[in-house]
Amino acid sequence: MSSLLEVKDLVIKFGLRTGDVTATTGVSFTIEKGEKLGLVGESGAGKSVTGFSIIVLISKPGYVADGHILFKGTDLTKISSEEMRNIRGNRISMIFQDPMMTLNPVLTIGTQMTETLLAHNPKMSMKEASEIALEKLRKVHIPSPEKRLEQYPHEFSGGMRQRIIIAIALITDPEIIIADEPTTALDVTIQAEIMDLISELCETEDMGFILITHDLAVVASVTENIAVMYAGRIVEKGRTRDVIDNPQHPYTKGLIKALPEGAKGSNRLNQIKGMMPTLTNIPDGCAFNPRCPYVMDICKTDEPSLIQVKGMDTQAACFLCKEEVFTNE
Amino acid sequence: MSNNEQSLLSVRNLYKRFDISGGLLDQIKFSGGKFSREITLVKALNNVSLEIKQGETFSVVGESGCGKSTLGRTIMGLYPPNSGEIYFNGDRLDQLSPKEMLPYRSRMQMVFQDPYASLNPRKTIKQTLEEPLKYHNPQMNAGELRDRVEEVLLQVGSDPKWVTRMPHEFSGGQRQRISIARALVVDPEFIVADEPISALDVSIQAQILNLLMDAQEQRNLTYLFVAHDLSVVEHISTNVAVMYLGTVCELADTKLLFEDPKHPYTMALLSAIPRLDGKKSERLKLTGEVPTPINLPTGCVFHGRCPYANSRCIAEIPELKTHSDGRKIACHAVEEERIR
Ligand SMILES: Nc1ncnc2c1ncn2[C@@H]1O[C@H](COP(=O)(O)OP(=O)(O)OP(=O)(O)O)[C@@H](O)[C@H]1O
Ligand SMILES: Nc1ncnc2c1ncn2[C@@H]1O[C@H](COP(=O)(O)OP(=O)(O)OP(=O)(O)O)[C@@H](O)[C@H]1O
Ligand code: SF4
Ligand SMILES: [Mg+2]
Ligand SMILES: [Mg+2]
């Protein structure tokens, strides 16, 4: 059986005048039905470009240079744009950080919802489409949805607008939702409400969910699996609880310790020295080596690959981690 | 000098409204056969009172638009209040002319959220840092200015060689260090830090927060800190005021507030914080829509979303009352002991 989504050795490049730069290398992960995966990392780590490339929406000068994106066994990097249109926004939906990237300010919510639906189901009647739109608005807990269908985006609060975006993303009953910082601009009370809503939907609709965020606490409270990105690479991957309680990669350790919760009673926070490299000056060897407190000689010359850590369910890309050796019994 | 109990900054019954009616033509409305003039006011601060003690970090939290930045800016004299009083070290500030305000300008400084917008893109770091210094210390010569700028840059963990460079050559975290250096260079006693770390990555946030805490320790600085990351607020604050629609609903010692919130809005806010340990606290869920500060609700500003609201809450504004443990709460349900 193939996975719901399998991303294999994804390499994304940007073709710049000065030559190509690599935004992600060797990014691999899978997600199954009903699974929630958190893709975390700091600004510029390559989270958004990874998310966009799954729906083959990476914009020029970016392109997928290598690797595979298998959606139920079909390689999305190989199909025609015609076929992709049938998948994007239909079987795989994406929620963007800025609601205005999805919503058209001059159309009512109702029109926007039914248009999406009719575009993917030409045989559907308008009446049927409106029924479904209503049902989805109810699902995201919008009060008096009949009235709301007639309204324009500016008539909603930020939190409501984000819920409407979720309703639009849901309207075609997608199998996967990819959400890029869906609550970053919102207040914590609304964030909690929206995260509850998405979790509920993953459970009832058996939907796969990829949550892209820089916020480890949100990932901890929502997802069961996590992939930590640094400078275009996945440096650690595993069950969310395992990774947060017992991080293996020095970057993950540093990130968790840098949070106030990681200060362990001390007044001072644990900072990671330096900053993430830009795409044009990624260091040789391990991309994290100039900032790593445990750096060794080998880290400066060789790049560690993601290995299964001995005795754990976690994978990490660090020379300090001992590899689990599997033997055929 | 002042004893520990005396406040460095006091705000009493502060009101701030913004007139957003536009020009006279926009204000004229025709209805019921008559022309009338309509004024639209944003009621950004409604009877805010607080005391900030020397050397403490006093944080203000609450949802977007509740008036946190307006409070900071009004205290700094960037907006004139509509009524109320602001005292700094016992001196009343809110009625001073710009000229009379001058001596206080160097004692009170502000750090803004956006490290990209808050530095002048056409000025070198040297100009950015020396100008306020020269302005407040006309007697300083070139050598003294240079030394002072170098000292401050070192203090914020930056390279003094940066002085010849322009803001665009720096990352967000580096720019925020320079903004903090600019605030520190005139040796202030009080700093309003409005979301100073919100635009930065976690690993850089830790650097900036450490820097702020170090500066506080070395100079006995007092902070008014605005942040939306509540775990950061819990970590660095002495006292916290929770605001809703321009009103303080609860004000308490940080530990007390986070361990045992009393006001229903504080409970809702704190119970919604996502936690690294993944544990879900019993959430107090809010119903209803956030009202606008243009049409303030009657009575308690929170009543439309409050699970404890009754008819008194709709009619009567709850007063911010001090309790025996020192905390202040504005809620009828707490006063009536419906919430304990
Ligand atoms: N159109 C583009 N041209 C050139 N480089 C780009 C382009 N879009 C993104 N990049 C680069 O690709 C890298 C990854 O960017 P991406 O947007 O995926 O980061 P991210 O992890 O989503 O960060 P953030 O948290 O800031 O959203 C960054 O170094 C970015 O500068
Ligand atoms: N200069 C202004 N003119 C008109 N209205 C304003 C002005 N500044 C603020 N407001 C309004 O006053 C209210 C309080 O705004 P303020 O910026 O103080 O909120 P805040 O708590 O800082 O929010 P955020 O967390 O989003 O920064 C809002 O309704 C805002 O739209
Ligand atoms: S005063 Fe009433 S409405 Fe306001 S918070 Fe208390 S119980 Fe709720
Ligand atoms: Mg992004
Ligand atoms: Mg603000």
The DSSP line for B176-237 is HHHHHHHHHTT--SEEEEESTTTTS-HHHHHHHHHHHHHHHHHHT-EEEEE-S-HHHHHHH-
Q: Does A259 touch chain B (CB under 8 A)?
A: yes
Interface confidence, given as ipTM, is: 0.84
* A74 and A207 housed in the same domain: yes
Q: Taking CA atoms, what residue in A is nearest to B290?
A: A157
Length of chain B: 340
Q: CA of A77 to nearest chain B CA: how many angstroms apart?
A: 32
Burial class (CB in 10 A: 0-12, 13-18, 19+), B57: buried
Which mutation among B69, B73, B79 tests ligand 2's pocket best, with the greatest number of atoms within 8 A of CB? Answer: B69
For helices B202-219 and A250-258, angle between their N-to-C axes, nearest 10 degrees: 40
Q: Is the pLDDT of residue A328 over 70?
A: no
Task: Evaluate whether residue A327 is within a structural domain.
Answer: no
Domain range for B30 is: 9-107+188-247
Q: B65 CA distance to ligand 2 centroid (A)?
A: 5
| Residues in chain B closer than 8 A to A158 (CB atoms) | 64
Residues of chain A positioned with their CB less than 8 A from the CB of B273 = 188, 217
Q: How far is CA B217 from CA B4, B148, B189, B321, in A?
A: 16, 19, 12, 32
Chain B partners within 8 Å of A216 (Cβ): 202, 276
Looking at the whole model, is its pTM more than 0.80?
yes
> With bands split at pLDDT 50, 70 and 90, how would you rate the model's confidence at A329?
low
What is the phi/psi pair of residue A325, to 5°?
A: -100, 120
* A135 in any annotated domain: yes
For residue B126, the SS3 value is: helix
User: Greatest CA span in chain B, whole angstroms?
Assistant: 72
- Our separate counts of H helices and E strands in chain A read 10, 12
Measured CA to CA, the distance from residue A61 to residue B1 in angstroms comes to 64
Residue B183 lies in a domain: no
Residue B55 in contact with residue B7, Cβ under 8 Å? no
Facing residue for B209 by CB, picked from A188, A193, A269: A269
Q: Within a domain: residue A91?
A: yes
CATH number assigned to the domain comprising residue A202: 3.40.50.300
pLDDT for the residue numbered B55: 95
| pLDDT over threshold 90, residue B173 | no
Look at residue B197 and tell me if it is in a domain. yes
- The confidence score (pLDDT) of residue A278 equals 83
**Under an 8 A CB cutoff, do A221 and B278 touch?**
yes
3-state secondary structure of B247: strand
Burial class (CB in 10 A: 0-12, 13-18, 19+), A34: middle
Q: Is A188–B269 a contact, with Cβ atoms under 8 angstroms apart?
A: yes
SS3 content of chain B, % helix, strand, coil (to 5): 35, 25, 40
One domain for residues A209 and A238: no
Same-domain check for residues A116 and A136: yes
For residue B292, name the pLDDT band (cuts at 50, 70, 90).
confident
Q: Answer yes or no: do A220 and B230 touch at CB < 8 A.
A: no
Considering the domain architecture, whether residues A19 and A142 belong to the same structural domain is answered as yes
Distances (CA, A) of A261 to A126, A255, B20, B39, B86: 52, 11, 42, 47, 35
> Could you read off the pLDDT of B36-45 as tens digits, one per residue?
777 888 999 9
Element (DSSP H or E) covering residue B285: none
Collapsing DSSP to helix, strand or coil, A70 comes out as strand
Phi (first) and psi of residue B163, to 5 degrees: -55, -30
Instruction: State the average pLDDT over residues B60-81.
Output: 93
Q: Based on the structure, what is the number of domains in chain A?
A: 2
Asked if B168 is an interface residue toward chain A (Cβ–Cβ < 8 A), one would say: no
Distance, C-alpha B220 to centroid of its chain: 19
In a domain, A328, yes or no: no
B261 CB neighbours in chain A (<8 A) are none
Residue scoring higher pLDDT (B44 or B30) = B44
What pLDDT band is residue B6 in, cutting at 50, 70 and 90?
Answer: confident
Domain final residue, candidates A223, A251, A281? A223
Find the domain containing A267 and state its range: 229-322
Q: How many domains does chain B have?
A: 1
Query: Tell me: the pLDDT tens digits for A3-60?
Result: 999 999 999 999 988 889 999 999 999 999 999 999 999 888 999 999 999 987 787 8
Type of residue numbered B95 = Q
Q: Does B207 touch chain A (CB under 8 A)?
A: yes
Indicate which ligand has the atom closest to the C-alpha of B201: 1
The two structure tokens encoding residue B334: 């707490």
Contacts of B311 (CB under 8 A, 6+ apart): none
Q: Is A24 on the interface with B (CB under 8 A)?
A: no
Residue A23 lies in a domain: yes
Residue that is last in its domain, among A223, A258, A286: A223
Query: Cα A106 vs. chain centroid, distance in angstroms?
Result: 29
Nearest CA owner, ligand 1 atom 28: A44
- A103 and A238, same domain (yes or no): no
